[in-house]
Amino acid sequence: MKLRLSPQPLEWIDRKNPLTFTFEGKEVTGFAGDVASSALWSEGSKVLGRSFKYHRRRGLLSFANHDVNALFQAPDMPNVRGDVTPVQEGQMFTAVNTFGSLASDKGSLVELIGKFLPVGFYYRAFYSPKFLFPKWERLIREMAGLGKVDTSWTESRQPKRYRHCDVAIIGAGPSGMAAAIAAAEQGVDVCLIDENPYIGGSLDYQYVNEEALSETRSSLKSTIESMANIQVIASAYVAGYYGDHWLAVNTDQGLIKLSAQSVVVATGVFEQPAVFRNNDLPGVMNASAAQRLMSRYAVAPCKEAVILTANPEGYRAALDMHKNGLVVKAILDTGSTDSEWVEQARQSGIPVFEHATIVEASGRKALQAVTFSVDGVAKQLACDGLLMSVGWAPAGAPLYQAGTKFAYSHTLEQLLPVSLPEGVYACGRINGVFDILDQFKDGEQAGLAAALYMQGKETPELNDYAAQMAHSHPYPIWQHPKGKEFVDFDEDIQFKDLKGAIAQGFDNIELMKRFSTIGMGPSQGKHSNMNGIRILAKLTGKTIDQTGSTTARPMFHPTPVSHLAGMRFRPERLTPMHAFHQSVNACFMEAGNWLRPEYYPSEASREASIAAEVAAVRGSVGLIDVSTLGKLEVFGKDAVELMDRLYTMRMSNMAIGASRYALMVDDSGVVIDDGVAVRYSDEHFYVTTTTSSSDSAYRMIQKKVIEWGLQVTVLNRTGQIGAMNLAGPNSRKILSQLTDLDLSNEGFPYLVMRRAKVAGVDATLIRVGFVGELGYEIHVDSMDALQVWDELMRVGEAFSIKPFGVEAQRMLRLEKGHIIVGQDTDGLTNPFEANMPWSVHFKKPYFLGKPSLMKLKNEQQRILVGFELLSADRNAMPLESNLLIEDGEMIGRVTSIGRSAALGKVIGLAMISIDYSKPDGELHIKLSDGRLVKAKVVKTPFYDPDGLLQKPDEEVHNKEQGAAA
């Protein structure tokens, strides 16, 4: 192992536990605790990936969960991040987005034509001539994307967890740890979240060799471990702050939805690369990346290093290298840092060049030399590592998402939070605090304040511990005549690209981003946005604050779909008779959340089975499960008033024991629901709604009860009551065997409700006529429904009873011309258009939507009519939604259609222009293939127009009742 160091004091690897995985088909050995990048690097593999556009070789850059050039393909996962993914025995990785292999990537030919591909080149070409664009596009799509998806991957879902805490602290570095302890000392419940497997943060990688801190370190860690009210959530990051201190915390085991009372953001800063020629050569990396590599994984970043620095942190990194016996050939200080640091470096034998500028990095496949200049004199040093320590940008995503404003500090040359939302605190380096002892203090005060805030106590004034000198270079960009100074490593954006974008007028930060795509790659600009802003500010002569920054939206890191989705919880409702339906192999359909029998396969085909069910109802008797209907009970002093107000028909004049069709419209007069209402007593009604609107209707009615100030109670009994409709000429004969109720016309007339025992069970029976035969809707307690159903089936056997499904019912009701709300009506249909003027009782002083209906009544333009097909051609059967055409214009559409066995013809309903609605008028239906078939308008009901069958032996009732269902 070429670059593995001797044991480090705080290393994460388990040297007793070596393991092997493959990368690009070659075996790599590492230790448990290694991430893929550290294991590869330890073996001297410095090319970890290819860049997105030019396919340049790339190595480590930030080593902080946004090294998107070290993105790997696993057999079961695209875009695996090498810098954070722990290696496992036998894993197989390849580099993403290479054409050939990582070593020999034909995609790198793109770089040869790089000069032909200026920023936004794709806006400039490929579109003319138009017919060639798809070809070019195919090529562009070929080059696009990173990892590969295997569409045969199976679904993976991770359960989510919920957690409530008092104070959530994001980041367990020095200030975060101090904050956790300070908050916990107040006795509150603290969650300390860190994306690394261990707490410690920069205290452990930047100060690993600082003897003076080792006691503090162990004391902090042991205190945190010992405090029962601190929960450390490690290997976890806050994907998003979603308002009201609601955090989406992503862990390897899934998402934790964490609701906190206050939040401390101690996320620290992202180290920013310097921008100079060939700054992307493998071996050039951030100094903090090198420190993490050494302290966590005991891997040397290189053997001979040059350090480019603008702050003390760079010197620290140089000394860490030195301590590990690695050669530091020189420190290139872009200015002149505190002489103490210079002194220390020189004492260790490291040459320091002050006021140095970097010229370029060079090397064939990886870094081999660095050229710099001091006082105008260029020098070159051979080296295999260049560590950049030129500045920091806030890891501010949670703060931005919480609504924090940032402003640029010229003292620090860094963006700092300036106004924090209530209950949100920041501490540590994100606050500009760079002195380690100050970081503890800043953390302590933030933790304390967060704990006091959530307890509703007064919070103390916060001290400003921000450093008084810059830790960032104000403009760490060094142009080279030959270019190749990379700003964004995800998107291969060079300095010249930004310059070009700005020159062309994309000189607003957002426009520059959108045109150049800077910051739009998988790292979302963590290493590039700040330099982009600096470049834009410089080239437009504005300040950083004037230039502004882009928003940091969720996700903080790309977050697995499997975690965000969690388990699949989709309700499914079954009726009380489901066991029966299953036992006879019913074919089910979904109606909202319900499963309903569409038909019962009794014949060879679906059509024949449905026809048999229809025939049974018309010829003898059938039974349908209508338990999915919404069922509401309405009772109280103002029950009558409510019913009158809710429905278009008058309900107050219903006799006790009567039933009535109930049609509901909204404020604008549009039909939204229908059902049947029955009156149990003066102040007690029972009403059904359509299957799909039971919840919304109930909700709406409750709201209206409040609005209207009525003394009435509404109960949603949908799930408590099972219902079935026994229909057909023989229905009475069957029912009479199961009840003592007088079923004679006199004892139980049409449209009347009775309460009685059926099969020994308390039932509400309604004589209804939806399907146009003598029929009884039977409502019983859900627990008893199956028993009643089974009894009806048993007794019905002698009459060849058939259970019938939704399809048969559709045909049966169509023969009667009854509408289905939502099928024969659309989002704008009013009752007049639905051809139900009888259902609107304007004489009532008030009902929902009345003023709208009064207006709409006089402006009717279309109407639902019945039609029959004149053509007998079985191959020219229109479908629902086929259009009606006159003189080449659309005049309407078919809403329902079916072949009526009882009538021997095809009948249907159509919503058409009122101009064409006269009875016997000829209509032309356009089939889906364009052919026109003839039909004519006919009156409804098609079948048994006088309603004699649903009330045998009775006088014909008035029209209102006849049309009620």
Partner 1 sequence: MKFVTCPSLGRRALSEFNYGGRLEREPDQETVSEKEWADYVFYHNGAPKTQIEWWYHRPTGIWFLFERNTLTDRITKVDFANKGISNEA
Partner 2 sequence: MPLRLVKYAWKKSEDEPRFFPDEKPLKKAYDVVIIGGGGHGMACAYYLAKEHGITNVAVLEQGYIGGGNTGRNTTIVRSNYLTSEGVKFYDESLKLFEDLSDDFDLNIFYSTRGHFTLAHTDSAMRTMRWRAEVNKHHGIDSEVVDVDTIKKEVPYMDMSCNGQHPVMGALYHAPGSVARHDAVAWGYARGAQMRGVEIHQKTRVTDIKTKGGKVVGVETDRGFIEAKKVVSMVAGSTPRITEMLDIETPIEIFPLQACVTEPVKPFMDTIVVSGSLHVYVSQSSRGELVMGASVDPAELHSTRSTLDFVEGLTDQMMDLFPFTSRLKIMRQWAGMSDITPDFAPIMGKTDVEGFYLDAGWGTWGFKATPVSGKTMAYTVANDMPHELIKPFSLDRYSKFELVGEKGAASVGH
Which of positions 231-260 make contact with partner 2 (CB under 8 A)? 240, 242-243, 246, 248, 257
Q: Is 826 in the site for partner 2 (CB under 8 A)?
A: yes
x/- mask, partner 1, residues 714-743, rule CB under 8 A, reads --x---------------------------
- Nearest distance from C-beta of residue 918 to partner 1, angstroms: 30
User: Between 287-297 and 312-323, two packed helices, what is the crossing angle to 10 degrees?
Assistant: 40
User: Rounded CA gap, 133 and 126, in Å?
Assistant: 6
- Sign, CA dihedral 55-58-62-68, equals positive
- Binders of partner 2 in range 303-322 (CB under 8 A): none
- Nearest distance from C-beta of residue 257 to partner 1, angstroms: 8
User: Rounded CA gap, 327 and 315, in Å?
Assistant: 14
User: Rounded CA gap, 433 and 462, in Å?
Assistant: 13
Count, residues in the chain: 965
- Binders of partner 2 in range 887-946 (CB under 8 A): 890, 893, 926, 928, 930
Closer to partner 2 by CB, 365 or 553: give it. Answer: 553
x/- mask, partner 1, residues 826-865, rule CB under 8 A, reads -------------------xx---xxx--x----------
218-226, 407-415, 700-708, 940-948 -> range binding partner 1 (CB under 8 A): 700-708
Closer to partner 2 by CB, 459 or 559: give it. Answer: 559
Q: What angle do CA 861, 865, 871 make, to 5 degrees?
A: 125
Which of the listed partners (partner 2, partner 1, none) does 244 bind, with a CB threshold of 5 to 8 Å by partner kind?
A: partner 1
- Nearest distance from C-beta of residue 484 to partner 2, angstroms: 15
- Binders of partner 2 in range 588-647 (CB under 8 A): 589-590
Judge whether 310 and 392 are in contact, CB under 8 Å: no
Q: Is 496 in the site for partner 2 (CB under 8 A)?
A: yes
Closer to partner 1 by CB, 400 or 942: give it. Answer: 400
User: Rounded CA gap, 892 and 864, in Å?
Assistant: 9
x/- mask, partner 2, residues 578-597, rule CB under 8 A, reads -----------xx-------
Closer to partner 1 by CB, 399 or 616: give it. Answer: 399
- Sign, CA dihedral 15-17-18-19, equals negative
Q: Is 72 in the site for partner 2 (CB under 8 A)?
A: no
Closer to partner 1 by CB, 208 or 632: give it. Answer: 632
Which of the listed partners (partner 1, partner 2, none) does 155 bind, with a CB threshold of 5 to 8 Å by partner kind?
A: partner 2
**Interface pick for partner 2 out of 103, 140, 579, 783 (rule CB under 8 A):** 140
116-124, 185-193, 302-310, 427-435 -> range binding partner 2 (CB under 8 A): 116-124
Q: What would the two tokens of residue 937 be?
A: 């308008």
Number of C-beta neighbours around residue 246 at 10 A: 14
Q: Is 150 in the site for partner 2 (CB under 8 A)?
A: yes
User: Rounded CA gap, 938 and 867, in Å?
Assistant: 5
| Amino acid present at 831 | P
Q: Is 125 in the site for partner 2 (CB under 8 A)?
A: yes
Q: Is 710 in the site for partner 1 (CB under 8 A)?
A: yes
User: Rounded CA gap, 625 and 114, in Å?
Assistant: 70
Closer to partner 2 by CB, 56 or 557: give it. Answer: 557
Residue 697 parent element (H or E): helix 694-708
**Total residues contacting partner 2 (rule CB under 8 A)?**
103
Longest dimension (CA), the chain: 117
Question: How does DSSP classify residue 7?
Answer: P
Contacts of 371 (CB under 8 A, 6+ apart): 358, 359, 360, 361, 362, 378, 379, 380
Q: Is 854 in the site for partner 2 (CB under 8 A)?
A: no
- Binders of partner 1 in range 196-215 (CB under 8 A): none
**Interface pick for partner 2 out of 2, 26, 106, 148 (rule CB under 8 A):** 148
The 3-state DSSP class for residue 509 equals: helix
Closer to partner 2 by CB, 743 or 856: give it. Answer: 856
CA distances from 820 to 117, 411, 809, 814, 863 (A): 60, 72, 11, 9, 15
Judge whether 661 and 831 are in contact, CB under 8 Å: no
- β-pairing, 190-193 vs 230-233, is parallel
Judge whether 255 and 560 are in contact, CB under 8 Å: no
Q: Is 47 in the site for partner 1 (CB under 8 A)?
A: no
- Sign, CA dihedral 435-440-444-447, equals positive
Q: Is 558 in the site for partner 2 (CB under 8 A)?
A: yes
Q: Is 137 in the site for partner 2 (CB under 8 A)?
A: yes
Closer to partner 2 by CB, 37 or 691: give it. Answer: 691
Residue found under tokens 């894993």: 91
Q: Is 109 in the site for partner 2 (CB under 8 A)?
A: no
Closer to partner 2 by CB, 855 or 959: give it. Answer: 855
- Nearest distance from C-beta of residue 661 to partner 1, angstroms: 22
User: Rounded CA gap, 235 and 219, in Å?
Assistant: 22
Contacts of 930 (CB under 8 A, 6+ apart): none
Judge whether 192 and 232 are in contact, CB under 8 Å: yes
Q: Is 680 in the site for partner 1 (CB under 8 A)?
A: no
CA distances from 239 to 197, 254, 542 (A): 17, 12, 33
Contacts of 713 (CB under 8 A, 6+ apart): 634, 635, 636
Q: Is 637 in the site for partner 1 (CB under 8 A)?
A: no
Q: Is 883 in the site for partner 1 (CB under 8 A)?
A: no
Q: Is 544 in the site for partner 2 (CB under 8 A)?
A: no
Question: How does DSSP classify residue 460?
Answer: P
CA distances from 604 to 601, 609, 691, 810 (A): 7, 7, 30, 20
User: Rounded CA gap, 747 and 736, in Å?
Assistant: 12
Closer to partner 1 by CB, 58 or 850: give it. Answer: 850
**Interface pick for partner 1 out of 124, 553, 703, 918 (rule CB under 8 A):** 703
Q: Is 707 in the site for partner 1 (CB under 8 A)?
A: yes
Closer to partner 2 by CB, 293 or 498: give it. Answer: 498
SS3 of 52-86: CCCCCEECCCCCCCCCCCCEEEECCEEEEECCCCE
**Interface pick for partner 2 out of 828, 870, 903, 956 (rule CB under 8 A):** 828
| Amino acid present at 540 | T
Contacts of 235 (CB under 8 A, 6+ apart): 194, 195, 196, 197, 251, 252
x/- mask, partner 1, residues 791-830, rule CB under 8 A, reads ----------------------------------------
- Nearest distance from C-beta of residue 894 to partner 2, angstroms: 9
318-326, 634-642, 741-749, 849-857 -> range binding partner 2 (CB under 8 A): 849-857
| Amino acid present at 745 | N
**Interface pick for partner 2 out of 48, 119, 203, 293 (rule CB under 8 A):** 119
| Amino acid present at 546 | Q
x/- mask, partner 2, residues 31-70, rule CB under 8 A, reads ----------------------------------------
Judge whether 895 and 880 are in contact, CB under 8 Å: yes
112-120, 274-282, 372-380, 902-910 -> range binding partner 2 (CB under 8 A): 112-120
- Binders of partner 1 in range 220-259 (CB under 8 A): 242-244, 246, 257, 259
**Interface pick for partner 2 out of 14, 510, 946, 954 (rule CB under 8 A):** 510
Q: What would the two tokens of residue 434 be?
A: 């760079």
168-176, 508-516, 616-624, 788-796 -> range binding partner 2 (CB under 8 A): 508-516
Residues that bind partner 1 (CB under 8 A): 242-244, 246, 257, 259, 667-668, 699, 702-703, 705-711, 716, 845-846, 850-852, 855
